[in-house]
Amino acid sequence: MKTVTALKNAEIIIDGKTVETIEIKNPCQMWKNLRTWTDKYGHGVRILVTDTEDKPYKDFTVKELKNGKYFLVNAVKETNRVQVAKARKAAAEKAAKIEAKKAKKRAYDKARRERLKAQKTAAVTTEA
């Protein structure tokens, strides 16, 4: 069974002023209407979608490309897949870097112990 996030409304904001508030119930309804709202209100629009607990679910702004096309950028980090993936990748790289540093130290310590052990045995054999 699919779980669907319950949504409350979508606010259409232009120049910091709310132009229209549209009631939506689920993400499917939001995705279907997103391009329509952007085309209707122009590329200076900001679309803020809130869930039933009045927390921002998605916060879209329009980014225009050189060829005249556009895409919508989501500013809410928790629901932005790209930002979450980048954060996960950065955390994995950091953990790998720390582990590599620890492994290098372990190898150095092991070689040092072996070297000291060899010096100790060499000193004992020369004295005898």
**Each residue of 107-124: b (16+ CB within 10 Å) or e?**
eeeeeeeeeeeeeeeeee
Q: Which helix (H) or strand (E) holds 30?
A: helix 27-41
Q: Per residue in 44-73, pLDDT tens?
A: 899 999 988 888 888 899 888 889 888 888
CB under 8 Å, gap of 24 or more: what pairs does 67-70 form?
70/38, 70/43
98-119 pLDDT, tens digit per residue, is 999 999 999 999 999 999 999 9
Flag whether the pTM goes above 0.85: no
- The pLDDT value recorded for residue 1 is 47
On the CB side of 24, how many CA atoms lie within 13 Å of its CA? 27
